[in-house]
Chains A and B, each alone.
Chain A
Amino acid sequence: MRLEEQLIEGVRNGNRDDFSALVEQYQLYALKVAYRFLRDREAAEDVVQEAFIKVYKKIHLFEGRSSFKSWLTQVVLNTCKNKVRKHSRETLGLDTPKLHRAQGPEESSIHLDIGQMLMGEIEALPEKQRQALMLRVYEDLSFKEISEIMGSPYDTAKANYRHALMKLREKFESCDLLKSWMYETNQKSNSWLGEIMEADL
């Protein structure tokens, strides 16, 4: 099996087999990244195809200062942004999930999909914060990798991530129902926090 560096070199020299191997290696990862941002399977597949073609054509621009994965992620995210710009969100079915907020105690019995609310709040975050959050939490990328992908300094990438979490927490705390749910969950988790701390810290 050829090393990634060898595959990249092969692609630079126009080797289709190496390109195919590179696609095989990163396709699923790229599809997941695109899907998380577009929330549309078909659109994600189109974006990934377009992104890999860009990779093939622009491989000379990849200087190896960042990892190939970071560079590919950057290409995929930029292609996602172009896709969203080209088509209206409605056409692609990218509507932000509607939030069903509880307004008062009488509404507290209404079933709320907390997950959907949280997802809605994540989607409502400013783009850079959302990107930093998703790349960190879902892709397990380091802040160095995130900064490379986002083309921003390390501290900025970290600040975007922190702001995203802080904003989500603020939202949770401003909604009474969520706040009480968070409090209850926290109380429950505190009973086994000691064990977690022993295991994790």
Chain B
Amino acid sequence: MKNSDWWWIDYMENELDPTTHPDIEFLLEKSPADREEFEAWRLLKSWVREVDPVKKETVSWETKELEKLREKTLRALADEETCQIGVRSF
């Protein structure tokens, strides 16, 4: 891997000093090889985003399910505390 990989990734993530941006934009405008290189990183990131297991497998929780889960969590907390009180008093 080349050092420039880090550089492209940081640029993509907006992690480079903004004063370097004009130079990079100039490079992207004038150099097809650099454009291709940068675009490859952007594509890779977009593919990673595309294969998000939550998105891909369309896992979702309906409002009612979330409500049930929340109630379950509150019950579990109450149960745990009751058990602890029971143990303490025992």
With a cutoff of 8 Å between Cβ atoms, the chain A residues found around residue B32 in the complex are: 190
Report how far A56 CA is from B54 CA in the complex, Å: 27
Report how far A20 CA is from B73 CA in the complex, Å: 9
CB contacts under 8 Å to A, within B18-75, are 21, 25, 28-29, 32, 35-36, 39-41, 43-45, 47-54, 56, 59, 61, 66, 69-70, 72-74
A-B contact count (CB 8 A): 113
Kindly provide the distance from the CB of B46 to the nearest chain A CB, expressed in whole angstroms: 9
Report how far A182 CA is from B47 CA in the complex, Å: 10
Given contacts A35-B54, A118-B47, A172-B44, contact A27 B39 (CB under 8 A): no
Interface size on A, residues (CB 8 A): 47
Report how far A197 CA is from B32 CA in the complex, Å: 13
Report how far A19 CA is from B76 CA in the complex, Å: 13
Whether a CB of chain A sits under 8 angstroms from the CB of B17 is no
Report how far A125 CA is from B5 CA in the complex, Å: 18
Whether a CB of chain A sits under 8 angstroms from the CB of B87 is no
Q: Contact check, B15 vs A158: say whether CB atoms are below 8 A apart.
A: yes
Comparing A61-69, A74-82, A163-171, the segment that makes contact with chain B is A163-171
Whether a CB of chain B sits under 8 angstroms from the CB of A99 is no
Listed in ascending order, the chain B residues whose CB lies under 8 Å from chain A are 1, 5-6, 9-10, 13, 15, 21, 25, 28-29, 32, 35-36, 39-41, 43-45, 47-54, 56, 59, 61, 66, 69-70, 72-74, 76-77, 80
A–B Cβ pairs within 8 angstroms, 28 of them: A19-B77, A24-B66, A32-B54, A35-B54, A36-B52, A36-B53, A41-B59, A53-B73, A53-B76, A115-B47, A115-B50, A118-B48, A133-B48, A136-B13, A137-B45, A138-B54, A161-B9, A162-B5, A165-B44, A168-B48, A182-B43, A186-B36, A186-B43, A189-B39, A190-B32, A190-B35, A197-B28, A197-B29
User: Which are the 9 A-B pairs with shortest beta-carbon distances?
Assistant: A115-B51, A119-B51, A49-B73, A23-B70, A32-B54, A162-B9, A52-B73, A166-B1, A118-B51
